[in-house]
Structure 1
């Protein structure tokens, strides 16, 4: 609602300028209202629109609103009501294409050509295709945030006047076929100057004059000087020139006056004004020998009204194209445009290089100094890149903080890129030093798609950021092969998970002093359908980075609880089940509720579950991690710190986390009894005893290791000395024999 009733509208916005003033007498149209159909699936949009337009008068007529909350409901209303002037139509309703499908049905099935259609959307990503705008005579397209009260009134006024003129034509005004063919035919033009050239040609036909001395100029919205967008006859060579380059003083002054007054100028020169949104106006000079009064004035005004819609469609096309292919901040080609240019390049035979340049720590700059400062940094970097890498090198912005360079290899090399960032950037009031990591890839003569080249450059960039930060790295084929192997493995892992080819193995945990089984650790395993065993250290990191670990982690917990329940049913109860929880899974907002739900579902006592976390889980999130651990422990579930001694934990970290158990990494257990024994296993046991924490040693394989750990006070152990990880059925058998 705020976008429709924007109190911050400037006074200039209120001075809305419309099309040719022609206040019809009541007898021309006996109806005393304009019927407006609002189509939107949100009730508050209906209310806000009607509130914004309530009590407004357009051309001496008030507005009556009809309401539809779905495309089908709108279709039924239109089929029953023949005098609806304007449809304010939401693009996305019951489906993503509901709005455009309704437009098609209005034009094709109901054959209603006069009704004007204004598309509105709250989701700018669902912009209509240019073919749809062109084919179905869509009057306007706006995001809901753009539609202040004045802009909505302006768009509605233009649409109503257009509807009134077309309606008159449908009742028999001469020139109907010419107008329709002009508006629809001209809309097929691809660019603004092409469309304007068509306007000039159609004006010549409409006024029965030779195509000589016709000029069409546009005044850009940004305040720049007007320029010629179309011309016929002896002015044709001046297309794309500024208006002041026009040699004919009288014609130039007439056009300037037309644009300044924002209305038609009929004497001494004939200039027609088009109030086109997105510009300060468009004017066309008509070198007519006969007085304009000899022409049907109403017909000419209808033509202008329709051409205005066409101009706006042409501008909309350019804006959508611009948004699709160019970065709005820096006016550089974006990733899509870069791929297109690589695919279409004409110099494939040349030795070229593609480079990606990523600004280091740009997100931190934005966070610390705000995004306005970040925008200034980006402009400064883009300016320096343009100074160093001259045409034919192309510069593009491919992500928020990454640029691409495409050009001759002799111009784009590692030294040149590093030189760009060797000196600080001057940002007027301050100077800042920025580093960047870059990757380079040679673009050979063999045909390769732009998307593939960018993918390879991205692989090299990731490698560079990991191993050679702040420098440039040349792409090698080995990097590509390794990345493709990871992608293939991840794809196979997804398939294996959803095909239920993952399974758990259970390794017993025993009391070192008595040998009594006190628990088991659930270990994730993957055997492919070909029988190949994929080590966890290969596939678990992939699952972590891809987000797949979230569903896999829940499945592991459910499967472990099911196994625990089966053991309880067999009277093999009284021991804990240790379940590994990844950092990604632990960070999920609903992790605790999921844990509680699973325990209740399988009727497992919380005291029988121990979650194993790694030390890195607390880095950068100490307070939130400690709070979540405390909440889990209040449920009755215990927490163990896995692989202790290999990460970053300190005494203060251990105290803040409030865990129950330390697990000694197998690497330190393996040192026991060897000449190079570091004694870390003994230190961890002593630390656990000092902090009143339980200790479990992993990888116990010899009796000497067991005895030494036990003598120093370690309570529990797991390893091949006691039992290997076993599948569910084998583990149940083992428990029956040893439990």
Structure 2
């Protein structure tokens, strides 16, 4: 009997709910005791059974009364039935019983005991099922309550964030902060509260009331171009204009900003979610605060003053370009004005522009901090103003770039003034006993000289400055360049190259060649992915033709991301084919931003490539000059990616700095390898190898071209190298064949 009850317990434990348990127990009891009918009943209701319908049954009371009697009971379809019953101890609200009936044969004592055991087990199972059901219901209610509480907390947090943001804006206005700060704060807080892709404040231009301008913005890069914001604002602020509309991929909303009783601009929200509920109301609250700021007398005055750079008090780019437009518009296209020059007769000169870029400012800013950098910028601005005539205009264009507009000067006079300004800027700035020195690269363009027109004045001066900035600064170089026609041709070629680069990114014209990395015996270990551009007209271009332009135009970050994904996909493909290849990819300084970690993760995941198969290479100079690079590279190493210092020995790393840098590999620059026949250079390579050994770093010698170089490197203890001695950079298919030929076809799957 005990074995039978164990079997029943196992069956009941597998049932999903109480009804299934009761049905299973009734069926089991009927089979075990050879009964035609079995039922679980409570208060005259059949809960489950075999050979009987569930629900209310008028015979239940009569059957229960006959349980245990020696004489049989006649039941429908079951004459002369003997009845046995046992309590089901489930501690329910009403007593429950398990009832069996069979024809002709009374129940023996042992059978009645088995029935009692069955009732007890069923009761225990029903209690467990009820407890589990209660627990599940309690958990469901708890989760629902937690969800409601979380929603309530979210609503309270949103309201608190809104109230906090509006309070900050009110305090900024009350404390008479400059209007630029108020509107910048408003854009940032509005985007945070509204969770939009961008928030832009658009206002009338005080110099040109018929035009609108973007005065503050808080967005993700590329989220809402200024032109799009202005278009939305114009549409919404027109009489009876719409307050919302569709932007590609999102919905835009505009709330009007008023000053002195009329609409003067708007706050534009680009909402990628497409939600509308509550958006207009919240955006309107921020627009009201913008209106309050503009109606304040002090901030209204500050808005007019917003055309001046707050640090240097020079005209900013907006005001400078406006004055330039006025000046060139009054020259009749010649740029001449009869204001007189420092030398020469009045009226013989033209309009000139000096484009000034400070040399060495970034190093001071990084080394001494932004406050000292601001001190240097303010000093440079003061010297520019002091050295100029009253009719000339100096402006800060942004960062460490300035511009000077000269009236009525010849090209020679403009160059002379530029050199005088350069001498003034070269004087040291004293700070706490330290002499801080910057130089200046100055580009000069004069309307009417070498094809310069009023419209091309700024780009011509910028091109001349760019040429000076990029030239070697020898002892005879003066850092002043006068625009000439050849620069125009060079700029045209550069602009064409920039346009071609933008197209190449979209049309996937970049390809990778792979140069093997080997041990010094020539056994393949990995490769370095090297960028090439398959130009549709100019053929295969090497990086020296286009990387500099890509860095200046800002395209290098997108190109770098393409290289990263393409290299990971190719190496993953080789690995699936049986080639155990690791790959090194070069990173530019522009890529060393926090977003790089996500790009690397995505590239590895897309290719299904382990992080340990990827090495990211950066130049020694980038490591030293880009202050944020170390943190980004440390994050990459934490991901499992290796980091290599390229061209090691050509930069400025000290031993103390190298110990702190997050690197795994040193790559010895080709210039040292090529001079291994010189004792001094061989000693440098040996010192680098010892340094790497002491710091537990790997070493790769770059540009190994001869067996002599490979032999000397082996003797010095260099473990790995790459160069023409073993292979040039190869297209993917050629690299695969090269690798297979050296590891043997047996290594391939």
TM class by smaller structure: 0.5 to 0.7
Q: Distance in 2 between the 1:407 and 1:544 partners?
A: 36
Question: What are structure 2's unaligned runs of at least 5 residues?
Answer: 1-165, 177-189, 195-227, 244-259, 271-285, 337-347, 744-749
Partner residue, 1:599: 604
Which residue does 2:613 correspond to in 1? Answer: 608
Alignment of 1:87-486 (within 5 A): 95-103=232-240, 118-119=262-263, 121=265, 147-148=291-292, 151=295, 334-346=320-332, 350-356=348-354, 358=356, 360=358, 367-368=370-371, 378=381, 381-382=384-385, 384-385=386-387, 389=389, 393-395=391-393, 397=395, 399-400=397-398, 401-409=402-410, 412-416=413-417, 418-419=419-420, 422=424, 438-444=442-448, 449-465=453-469, 472-486=480-494
Say which SS state the counterpart of residue 451 (structure 1) adopts.
coil
Q: Which residue number in structure 1 is paired with residue 496 of structure 2?
A: 488
Distance 2:658 2:168 in 1: 52
Q: How does 1:585-664 map to 2 (within 5 A)?
A: 585=591, 587-621=592-626, 624-664=628-668
Query: Could you say which residue in structure 2 is the equivalent of 1:305?
Result: none
- Displacement of 1:539 in angstroms is 1.3
Separation in 1, partners of 2:571, 2:350: 62
Equivalences, count = 469
Q: Structure 1: which 5+ residue stretches go unaligned?
A: 12-40, 46-90, 107-115, 127-141, 153-220, 223-276, 280-318
Is 1:500–2:516 an aligned residue pair?
Answer: no
551, 554, 576: which one aligns with 2:558: 551
Residue 141 of structure 2 is matched in structure 1 by: none
* 1:705 matched to 2:717: no
Specify whether residues 692 and 150 from structure 1 end up closer, same or farther in structure 2 by C-alpha distance, changes over 3 A only: closer
Equivalent position SS for 1:509: strand
CA gap 1:729/1:684 in 2 versus in 1, 3 angstroms: same
Per the alignment, residue 731 of structure 1 pairs with 735
Q: CA shift at 1:3, angstroms? A: 8.4
The reply to whether residue 566 of structure 1 matches residue 703 of structure 2 is: no
Structure 2 match to 1:197 = none
CA distance in 2, matches of 1:454, 1:563: 45
8 A contact 2:351–2:405 mirrored in 1: no
Query: 1:355 deviation in Å?
Result: 3.3
Kindly indicate whether the alpha-carbon contact (under 8 Å) linking 1:669 and 1:697 is maintained by their aligned counterparts in 2: yes
Aligned residue in 2 for 1:580: 586
SS in 1 for 2:729: coil
Cα distance in structure 2, aligned partners of 1:511 and 1:338 = 62
Q: Which has the higher contact order (CA 8 A, sep 6+)?
A: 1
Distance 2:546 2:680 in 1: 32
| CA deviation vs aligned residue, 1:75-116 (integer Å, no higher than 9, x gap) | xxxxxxxxxxxxxxxx9799333422454689xxxxxxxxx9
Query: In the aligned structure 1, how far is the partner of 2:193 from the partner of 2:493?
Result: 51
- Structure 1 residues 532 and 323 mapped into 2: Cα distance closer, same or farther (>3 Å)? same
Aligned to 1:520: 527
User: How far apart, CA to CA, are the structure 1 residues paired with 2:585 and 2:534?
Assistant: 20
Q: 1:525 offset after TM fit, Å?
A: 0.8
Bigger CA radius of gyration: 2
For the 8 Å contact 1:353–1:408, the answer to whether it is kept is: yes
Q: Considering only aligned residues, what root-mean-square deviation do their CA atoms show, in Å?
A: 4.8
CA contact (8 A) 2:383 2:424 kept: no
**Per the alignment, in what secondary structure is the counterpart of residue 504 of structure 2?**
helix
CA deviation profile, 1:486-536 (whole Å, cap 9, x unmatched): 2222222222232111101111122223x3211111111112113522221
- Deviation readout 1:228-265 (Å, 9 max, x if unpaired): xxxxxxxxxxxxxxxxxxxxxxxxxxxxxxxxxxxxxx
TM (norm. structure 2) is: 0.53
The alpha carbon displacement at 1:656 in A equals: 1.1
- In 2 relative to 1, CA 688–98 (structure 1 residues): closer, same or farther, beyond 3 Å? same
- Which residue in the other structure is 2:543 paired with? 536
SS in structure 1 opposite 2:495? helix
